[in-house]
């Protein structure tokens, strides 16, 4: 169980039900943001529950669900608690922080109960039938225990530190997301009873793997079986695993610091000491232990979640990494985009020549990131005709070919500028390390604008060609990250269109220097004009002949939602594909009759932002980094680029059409705020269909080359 039910919980359930009901009333224009996000995570959990998926893929989705929930509490719940503590009331057409926290509690309990059930009753037994067994210490034989004793003595015991709690030893600090054991011991000599805490070291794997490589024992059980070693001469009365979640959002006053890098490093150290917002305990944990932990962590009963089975199921990633391909999706190898493909008698066309011949649209992970975006930067780094490279870096991978290429370019004397966003949540430390490495190589590193995150995904290459300086551009929807490019669905545009190149030049000048530039030729830039331009584009379609189709991660901004309501009331046809949070209520008579909302959740994380306006040859399409949220429109540097080539527009429209036709991965949002799985009729799976199309394009290109 997620937690036991008491009178307070029942009252909380009633409050949550009332909040849900009120949110669905016709006079409530917007759905609750936090509950909408929990609905998204419920769709992730549904994948773990889907017995038609390969077993290790289900384990992966269970790990993603658990990690998502951790982040939700660290940021969103923590923020609501701060608002409630400050006495803030309900915003316009919204619910108070206290009301939202009650609703979150009830919905989270239901989700955690589903998580427990899918792991204990479905996934673990099914994996066991395939030789991947989650074992308990009590169920092991003597030989297995001897092995674990050896593992404990060699690898675990040396890094453990039992911490006593008594008048001479205050309650220890419990770090964020750490797994711990609460232990009661009794001194057999004087009979004194004491409490102690043992931290389960995060540097060790969540599960201890047995010699056969396919049996897993929770690390805390191995430690618990050796508490007599940690407390020699004492009687161990009881132990209970627990886990603490803390407020992990950075509270940086940028205006008051001259050194953003040093300020971020300081805030990362402070993050460890954020206020506790959630306590997870084993379902068998005694009231005495719960009350002690609540008191010391300054938490209330509403912050405690009792969980049956292992805590921290994010550790299932280790299980997913097992070399059992038959229990996973068939491996997908991204295909080189058709126009970037190598011919039979060459090493492949120079990417700058291809881009000069016409803009290239890439769609990851179906089109290879390595042979498109990475190749673009790598060729620029070694090309003697390239004068400068400028690029934004929001999240980079641990071994980034792009960062290595930028370093190589700087070492060869090119002008290289990297805008590294130090405030990318939970990637701050990694970005600090990359920023230092780039600076040491001679790259001009900029940390962005005061008060704004730089979220735009842009790269600019300046190249001299026969006395002419030409600008080559990349504008995308995803991070310059080779690892996530294989897991996230994104689109990008490679172009040498002169007006777009001039826009990117001026955007980088805005980011690296002083500029009050607000008008761009083609780019839609936040926080300058993006909001106004999106509203203008919606207004253009506010008629009976209007057509709007948008694909994004989140739709939250109330001004944008109101404009979409107005367009619907005027008769415009509106299709929205929103991966996670959607505060717009579709299909409400008189308000949003003509609006449909669906979400695609499956193998790849839908991450692209595609905005289409108009019908037939009057269509206007944009791609870029911005979701339709206040933070993206008002508090971040974002960039959307137009796609004007009709063939590329057709391809974007084809992506959107497949998303709209999907009846395998798709969910639809109703007027009551409830997401419903689309019934499978034709078996359209967005991810599989787009893989098939990538293969077909490659085959056609190859056949055409053979004929030539």
Report DSSP letters for 352-394, one per residue: HHHHHHS-EEEEETTB-SIIIIIHHHHHHHH-TTEEEEEEEES
Q: What tokens does 34 get?
A: 């936090």
Strands (E), 92-173: 133-134, 162-165
Of 84, 128, 125, 121, the closest CA to residue 102 belongs to: 84
CA-CA distances (angstroms) from residue 372 to 168, 180, 285, 299? 62, 46, 54, 50
**Residues 6 or more apart in contact with residue 688 via CB below 8 angstroms:** none
Give CA–CA dist 529/513, Å, rounded: 19
Give CA–CA dist 369/375, Å, rounded: 8
Catalytic residues: 455
Of 157, 147, 238, the closest CA to residue 200 belongs to: 157
CA-CA distances (angstroms) from residue 257 to 56, 147, 223, 607? 47, 54, 45, 33
Can you say whether residue 589 is alpha, beta or left, with left for phi > 0 and alpha for psi between -120 and 50 degrees? beta
| Cβ-contact 496, 355 below 8 angstroms | yes
At what angle are helices 97-117 and 78-85 packed, to 10 degrees? 150
Give CA–CA dist 685/600, Å, rounded: 9
The label of the residue with tokens 């034709």 reads 682
CA-CA distances (angstroms) from residue 630 to 118, 557, 634? 36, 5, 6
**Containing H/E element for 574?**
strand 573-578
Burial of 24 (C-beta count, 10 Å sphere; 0-12/13-18/19+): middle
Q: What tokens does 7 get?
A: 């009178």
Give CA–CA dist 263/252, Å, rounded: 8
Strands (E), 201-285: 207-209, 215-218, 235-246, 276-282
**Residues 6 or more apart in contact with residue 288 via CB below 8 angstroms:** none
């Amino acid at each position: 169980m997620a937690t036991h039910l008491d009178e307070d919980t029942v009252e909380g359930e009633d409050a949550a039900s009332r909040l849900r009901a009120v949110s669905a009333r016709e006079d409530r224009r917007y759905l609750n943001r936090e509950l909408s996000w929990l609905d998204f995570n419920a769709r992730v959990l549904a994948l773990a529950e889907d017995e038609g998926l390969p077993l290790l893929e289900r384990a992966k989705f269970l790990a993603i669900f658990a990690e998502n929930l951790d982040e939700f509490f660290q940021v969103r719940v923590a923020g609501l608690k701060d608002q409630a503590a400050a006495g803030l009331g309900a915003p316009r057409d919204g619910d108070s922080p206290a009301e939202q926290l009650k609703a979150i509690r009830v919905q989270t309990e239901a989700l955690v109960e589903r998580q427990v059930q899918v792991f204990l009753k479905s996934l673990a037994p099914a994996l066991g039938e395939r030789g991947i067994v989650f074992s308990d210490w009590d169920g092991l034989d003597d030989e297995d225990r001897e092995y674990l004793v050896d593992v404990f003595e060699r690898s675990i015991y040396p890094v453990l530190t039992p911490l006593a709690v008594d008048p001479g030893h205050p309650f220890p600090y419990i770090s964020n997301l750490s797994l711990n054991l609460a232990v009661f011991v009794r001194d057999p000599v004087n009979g004194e009873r004491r409490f102690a805490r043992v931290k389960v070291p995060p540097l060790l794997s969540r599960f201890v793997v047995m010699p056969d490589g396919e049996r897993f024992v929770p690390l805390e059980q191995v430690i618990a079986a050796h508490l007599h070693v940690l407390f020699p001469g004492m009687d161990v009365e009881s132990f209970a695993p627990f886990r603490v979640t803390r407020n992990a959002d950075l509270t940086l006053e940028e205006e008051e610091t001259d050194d953003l890098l040093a300020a971020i490093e300081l805030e990362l150290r402070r993050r460890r000491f954020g206020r506790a917002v959630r306590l997870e305990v084993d379902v068998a944990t005694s009231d005495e232990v719960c009350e002690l932990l609540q008191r010391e962590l300054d938490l209330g009963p509403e912050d405690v979640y009792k969980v049956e089975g292992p805590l921290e199921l994010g550790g299932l990633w280790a299980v997913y990494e097992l070399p059992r391909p038959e229990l996973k999706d068939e491996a997908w190898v991204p295909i080189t985009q058709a126009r970037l493909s190598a011919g039979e008698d060459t090493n492949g066309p120079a990417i700058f020549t291809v881009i000069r011949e016409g803009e290239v649209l890439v769609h990851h992970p179906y089109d290879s990131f390595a042979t498109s975006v990475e190749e673009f930067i790598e060729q620029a780094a070694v090309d003697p005709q390239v004068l400068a490279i400028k690029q934004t870096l929001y999240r980079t991978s641990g071994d980034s070919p792009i960062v290595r290429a930028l370093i190589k370019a700087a070492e060869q004397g090119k002008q290289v500028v990297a805008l590294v966003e130090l405030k990318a949540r939970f990637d701050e430390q990694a970005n600090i390390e990359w920023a230092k490495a780039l600076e040491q190589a001679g790259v001009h590193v900029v940390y962005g604008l005061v008060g704004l995150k730089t979220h735009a995904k842009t790269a600019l290459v300046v190249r001299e060609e026969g006395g002419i300086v030409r600008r080559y551009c990349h504008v995308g929807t995803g991070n310059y990250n080779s690892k996530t490019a294989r897991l996230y669905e994104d689109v990008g545009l490679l172009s040498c269109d002169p007006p777009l190149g001039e826009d990117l030049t001026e955007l980088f000048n805005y980011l690296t220097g002083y500029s009050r530039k607000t008008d761009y030729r083609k780019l839609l830039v936040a926080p300058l004009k993006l909001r106004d331009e999106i509203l203008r584009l919606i207004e253009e379609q506010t008629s009976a002949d209007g057509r709007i189709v948008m694909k994004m991660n989140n739709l939250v901004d109330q001004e944008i939602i109101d404009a979409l309501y107005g367009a619907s009331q005027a008769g415009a046809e509106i299709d929205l594909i929103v991966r996670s949070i959607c505060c717009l209520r579709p299909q409400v008579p008189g308000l949003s009759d003509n609006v449909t909302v669906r979400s695609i959740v499956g193998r790849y994380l839908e991450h692209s932002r595609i905005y289409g306006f108009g019908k037939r040859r009057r269509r206007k399409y944009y791609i870029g980094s911005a979701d339709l949220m206040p933070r993206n429109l008002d508090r971040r540097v974002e960039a959307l680029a137009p796609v004007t080539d009709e063939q590329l527009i057709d391809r974007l429209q084809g992506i959107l059409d497949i998303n709209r036709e999907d009846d395998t991965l798709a969910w639809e949002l109703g007027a009551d705020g409830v997401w419903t799985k689309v019934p499978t009729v034709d078996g359209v799976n967005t991810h599989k269909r787009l893989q098939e199309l990538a293969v077909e394009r490659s085959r056609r290109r190859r056949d055409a080359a053979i004929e030539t």
